[in-house]
Structure 1
């Protein structure tokens, strides 16, 4: 019958261990420990803490800047970016724009005067109109003269022009009635011996159907047998009335 071997005790010390332990203890007592470098350890700890804080801050900034970078990249490289074509350089300069025509100046019309209103045609020559007709004075006849527009001597239903000539050594007053034309009288032209002379027109308010024209000329323009040609034109340039 076999008998089991007795188990070794767990706390049993190996043979020879005691003298070795005593030798190590004696050697340790003979060693003097060096001083601990506390100041260097503290500086090293502060440096490590600063580096950790810097790392944490850098990571936080990176997190904040990441959306901005994404927006910038999206704005510059997105599909909605519009590419503008480069401007082309013309070999010749562009033509200058054509100026728009200026509005035409309206044709003149007769000066409207009140009955009895005096108009000085030239020094010493004064004209005025009444409902009856034309009145005027000259240096030689300051008392005045008159031509009727309503006594039947003129036919206001037919275009016509009359003429009176009053001259002095310094000038000639050509004047008369005009009447019967269609449209609106505008200007008067007198063909004299010394060339064309342009005059003016007077009318009373209310378009009475007649008016007075006058022009000043140089001495001799109506002397002798010469009868000036007088043409009153309308605002369209046509003949309103004419003499002869």
Structure 2
């Protein structure tokens, strides 16, 4: 079966997007204790509920997901025949029709690890596309990756080497669009606070 490979890279989305973190769904609740009812059980209950609601976002941030930390050379299976592993030099991966493996360097001078960015490689069959790439240079701790396609949003996963190297690899699988494999419009990696860590936009 004919194999197709694509390699793309892009810079981070600006702070206009990053400023939208964790706003939707949050409401401010105020409570004033009755001046003449010091033993008002309902009032104390309302106050407790307000305190719990205020602490919920902080708890959510504390338990936000982080990348899976892998040892150099440790293989991660994204799908049958689709494996990824990291070394200090970069990203390695296989697909069912490329079992000998491929490599994307982070030390060859083509990637500026000090500036936020995301790359995209995709290949596969008419039944399944294997999506993956590097992410690097963002602030904070990467948490999730969202891949926008014509069919909807695909959630991927993140892996990194120990010691906060400043880069990692994201990966996902998707069913290709009937009209074209070129169906990914955006890849966004967000940090543990919901802000954009790095992003690739294709128009």
Q: Same fold (TM over 0.5)?
A: yes
Q: How many residues are treated as equivalent by the alignment?
A: 152
Partner of 1:240: 197
Alpha carbons of structure 1 residues 223 and 217: separation in structure 2 relative to 1, 3 Å: same
In the aligned structure 1, how far is the partner of 2:139 from the partner of 2:179?
A: 28
Question: Rg larger in 1 or in 2?
Answer: 1
In the aligned structure 1, how far is the partner of 2:140 from the partner of 2:147?
A: 20
The counterpart of 1:131, out of the listed 82, 88, 94, is: 88
Structure 2: runs of 5+ lacking an equivalent:
1-40
In the aligned structure 2, how far is the partner of 1:124 from the partner of 1:131?
A: 23
Higher relative contact order (CA 8 A, sep 6+): 2
Alpha carbons of structure 1 residues 224 and 118: separation in structure 2 relative to 1, 3 Å: closer
Contact 1:111 1:203 in 2 (8 A): yes
Deviation, structure 1 residue 173: 1.2
In the aligned structure 2, how far is the partner of 1:183 from the partner of 1:144?
A: 31
Alpha carbons of structure 1 residues 224 and 112: separation in structure 2 relative to 1, 3 Å: closer
User: Residue deviations 1:197-236, cap 9 Å, x none?
Assistant: 1111100000111000011111228935444300011111
Q: Which has the higher helix share?
A: 1
In the aligned structure 1, how far is the partner of 2:66 from the partner of 2:173?
A: 19
Partner of 1:163: 120
In the aligned structure 2, how far is the partner of 1:119 from the partner of 1:109?
A: 16
| Runs ≥4 residues deviating over 4 A | none
Structure 1: runs of 5+ lacking an equivalent:
1-93
In the aligned structure 1, how far is the partner of 2:109 from the partner of 2:183?
A: 27
Q: Which has the higher strand share?
A: 2
The counterpart of 1:205, out of the listed 158, 162, 168, is: 162
CA RMSD of aligned residues (A): 2.2
Which TM-score applies when normalising by structure 2? 0.69
Contact 1:181 1:241 in 2 (8 A): yes
In the aligned structure 1, how far is the partner of 2:73 from the partner of 2:101?
A: 13
